[in-house]
Amino acid sequence: MLTRVKIGLALTFLFVLAFVYKRSLSPGCLYSCKPSPEPFLVEEDDVSQSSGIIFVETTDDLRIPPLASCSVESAARAYPDRPVRFFIKGMKNNTWRDLNSTSAAFALLSAMENVFLLPLPMETVFQDTPLLPWYHKVNPARERYWLHVSADASRLALVWKYGGIYMDTDVISIRPISLENFVAAEGSQVSGNAVFGFSHHHGFLWDCMEDFVRNYRGHIWGHQGPSLLTRRLKALCNLTNFHNVEDINCQNISFLHPQRFYPIPYPAWRRYFQVWKTSPNFNHSYSLHLWNYMNQEHKPVVAGSNTLVENLFKTHCPTTYKVLIQGPEGSV
């Protein structure tokens, strides 16, 4: 009996929270104001108007973890006038409403006006790109890092087709990026691919896709991702070391200082899960990459822990924090 009461309270809390959030965005609207999920592809004529933020999930797992939910929500808040599209491989068009009614994360993200949860049909994604022949030839069952390699390929194709900013689902946005064509350094002369942005049909991304196929080494970790972007940048420019916190211009592509997205480098990823005496302001950063792949210990975000990551959730994805971290009992 007590379990049923708790479940009922949780569902009631989620409904009320979504109601309040929707009202705060559009005072004259309820759920009927949310447009139907947009089709997977946008028309070419609409690309310039639809350039937004792109997230990708290449597993078939339909459970959206709290960090991924926070990534999407924080982007939606940082870019309120741009569409935030989360492409999910395991999602089908006819399962959207079921997921929306059974998953707290799906429900809270769907309640946000500029968030769109969409299928990821890879055959369609790779059409009209150099990646399609590779996709037809590769055998995922024999690929050691298929989930990562397919994610590397998908992000290149999606940003090339539609333009905008790609972000990993462990990136928390703290302020908007004003640049259009950029990649971000993880270290001196080394690019990451957790965040990058380009205009529609930018030639750099086409070159990256050609290199992806021509020099495919799927068994080497990072070869199709960070190493690929680094190779293509070095083919364009003689990359130098960063001076102070200044970015580098490479053929009208901004190569951003590591502080912009990686102020805490991957060897120190645990610092996000520690209590800081003085909270960092991250004044030089647009977003924060939390290096979730390194978190093999599955360290969670804990309500009331006062860790850095908890405070980031509270500030930049408060709805995710209330629903997925605190829950109905902790929100009182």
Q: What is the DSSP track for 183-207? A: EEEEETTEEEEEEEEE-TT-HHHHH
pLDDT at 226: 97
DSSP 278: S
pLDDT in tens, 271-309: 999 999 998 999 999 999 999 999 999 999 999 999 999
- Topology of 2-330 in CATH? Spore Coat Polysaccharide Biosynthesis Protein SpsA; Chain A (3.90.550)
> Domain residue spans in the chain?
2-330
Q: What is the dihedral of CA 293, 295, 298, 302, to 10 degrees?
A: -120
> Measured between alpha carbons, how far is 326 from 63 in angstroms, rounded to an integer?
18
Report the SS3 class of residue 281: coil
> Measured between alpha carbons, how far is 2 from 325 in angstroms, rounded to an integer?
21
Walk across the sheet containing 52-57 and list its strands: 115-119, 84-88, 52-57, 164-167, 190-198, 182-187, 253-256, 248-250
φ/ψ region of 119 (left if φ > 0, alpha if ψ in -120 to 50, else beta) reads beta
pLDDT at 35: 37
pLDDT in tens, 234-246: 999 999 999 899 9
Q: Do 64 and 106 meet the contact criterion of CB atoms below 8 Å apart?
A: yes
pLDDT at 11: 43
pLDDT in tens, 148-205: 999 999 999 999 999 999 999 999 999 999 999 999 999 989 999 999 999 999 999 9
Tell which residue, 80, 86, 73, has the closest CA to residue 40.
Answer: 86
Q: Do 236 and 250 meet the contact criterion of CB atoms below 8 Å apart?
A: yes
34-38, 71-75, 100-104, 130-134: range with lowest mean pLDDT: 34-38
Bridge partners (DSSP) of residue 172 are: 288
pLDDT at 171: 98
Mean pLDDT of 111-122: 95
Count of positions (residues) in the chain: 332
Which residue type, as a one-letter code, is found at position 255? F
Residue 18 confidence (pLDDT) above 80? no
33-47, 112-126, 242-256: range with lowest mean pLDDT: 33-47
pLDDT at 329: 45
pLDDT in tens, 311-329: 999 999 999 999 999 986 4
> Measured between alpha carbons, how far is 262 from 184 in angstroms, rounded to an integer?
9
pLDDT at 327: 85
